[in-house]
Structure formats: structure tokens, C-alpha cells
């Protein structure tokens, strides 16, 4: 019985200690963490920025494309929206695509989902002739909501990618 008690205590100690490890990315001046050469993630809430949304109002309009719950697939309607903007986007010197999510899921999952959404928009822009080197993708995850009402429509508005 004593051997069992010691073994159990050791296992619990190992599990507890292994759960405490944390990888910390080295910060840069913007408060962003580089993920790849054209990708950054940024926790706006952690950097003291306004989290009321890109334009500070419900649904920020023509430069947003929306996604279904837990998806990074663009609907045909959203692809057409990007296609309409492509001729203007080709003339820009830099385009920033910001991926966002609703509040469901872990922070890590939502940052990854926001990144996949931003990359889906970038890929669509590139397929329409916008040079890839002009496009930077960023994930805000759930930290940049345009709406905080807790309704289905509100959650739908937060599942988006904005391009500027």
C-alpha cells in the first residue's frame, strides 16, 4: 500500500509541475508576437488598446468578410466581395488582414482560427492578382470584438476578417 501511495504522489507531482510550464514569446515594440515572416498575433486587450472593434461600432462595414461558426472557409458571397475590392487592393502599397473570432473556445484556439481566417482572405486576394508580398496577416483571436451583446447576431459579427 505504501508503494502505491508513493507512486500516486509522484504521478500527481509530475502532472502538476508539467502543467505549469509556459512558453513565453519574446515581445517586440508593438506588443505582437511573430508567427511567420508575414504573420503576427496581437492581444489588443493586453496592450491597452480599445477593444470595441475596428471602427468602434457594431459591424464595421465594407472591409470585413464574415465566416461561419468554427470555420475559416469563405462563402461565395464573401469571395465576391474580396474580388470586387481586388482592383483597388492591387494599388495599395500594404494591406493588413486581421483575423478575428467570437468568444467561444480557448484563447489559443481562437488566435489560430483568426490566423486561418486571415490567411484564407489573403489567399483569395492573391488568387485575384494582389501581390502576396503586400499582404500582412494578423490574428486578434477573440480580443477585438465589434459587438459584445451576447446574441447570435453579435457572435456572427465577431467571426470575421478585416482588411485595411
Phi-psi region of 108 (alpha: psi -120 to 50; beta: other; left: phi over 0): alpha
Give the whole-angstrom CA distance, residue 146 versus residue 86. Answer: 24
Which tens digit of pLDDT belongs to each residue from 82-108? 999 988 999 999 999 999 999 999 999
Give 143: exposed, middle or buried? Use CB within 10 Å, 0-12, 13-18, 19+: buried
Residue carrying C-alpha cell 486578434: 140
Quick check: 139 and 44 in contact, CB under 8 A? no
CATH tag for 27-163 (out of 3.40.50.2000, 3.60.21.10, 1.20.1740.10, 3.30.1330.60): 3.30.1330.60
Closest by CA position to 108, among listed 137, 74, 143, 73: 143
How are beta strands 39-42 and 135-141 bridged, if at all? parallel
pLDDT computed for residue 14 by the predictor: 57
pLDDT computed for residue 31 by the predictor: 39
Domain spans of the chain, in order of start: 27-163
Check pLDDT > 70 for residue 131. yes
pTM score above 0.75: no
Quick check: 132 and 143 in contact, CB under 8 A? no
Which tens digit of pLDDT belongs to each residue from 21-35? 433 333 333 434 444
Closest by CA position to 163, among listed 61, 28, 31, 51: 61
Cell of 141: 483571436
Amino acid at each position: 500500500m505504501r508503494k502505491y501511495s508513493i507512486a500516486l504522489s509522484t504521478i500527481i507531482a509530475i502532472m502538476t509541475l508539467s502543467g505549469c510550464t509556459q512558453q513565453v514569446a519574446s515581445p517586440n515594440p508593438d506588443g505582437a508576437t511573430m508567427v511567420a515572416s508575414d504573420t503576427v498575433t496581437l492581444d489588443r486587450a493586453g496592450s491597452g488598446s480599445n477593444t470595441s472593434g475596428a471602427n468602434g461600432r457594431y459591424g464595421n462595414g465594407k472591409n470585413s468578410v464574415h465566416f461561419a461558426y468554427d470555420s475559416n472557409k469563405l462563402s461565395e458571397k464573401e469571395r465576391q466581395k474580396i474580388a470586387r475590392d481586388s482592383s483597388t487592393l492591387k494599388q495599395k502599397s500594404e494591406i493588413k488582414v486581421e483575423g478575428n473570432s467570437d468568444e467561444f473556445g480557448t484563447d489559443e484556439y481562437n488566435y489560430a482560427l483568426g490566423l486561418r481566417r486571415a490567411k484564407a482572405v489573403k489567399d483569395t486576394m492573391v488568387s485575384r492578382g494582389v501581390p502576396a508580398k503586400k499582404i500582412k496577416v494578423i490574428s486578434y483571436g477573440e480580443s477585438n470584438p465589434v459587438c459584445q451583446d451576447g446574441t447570435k447576431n453579435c457572435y456572427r459579427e465577431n467571426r470575421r476578417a478585416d482588411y485595411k
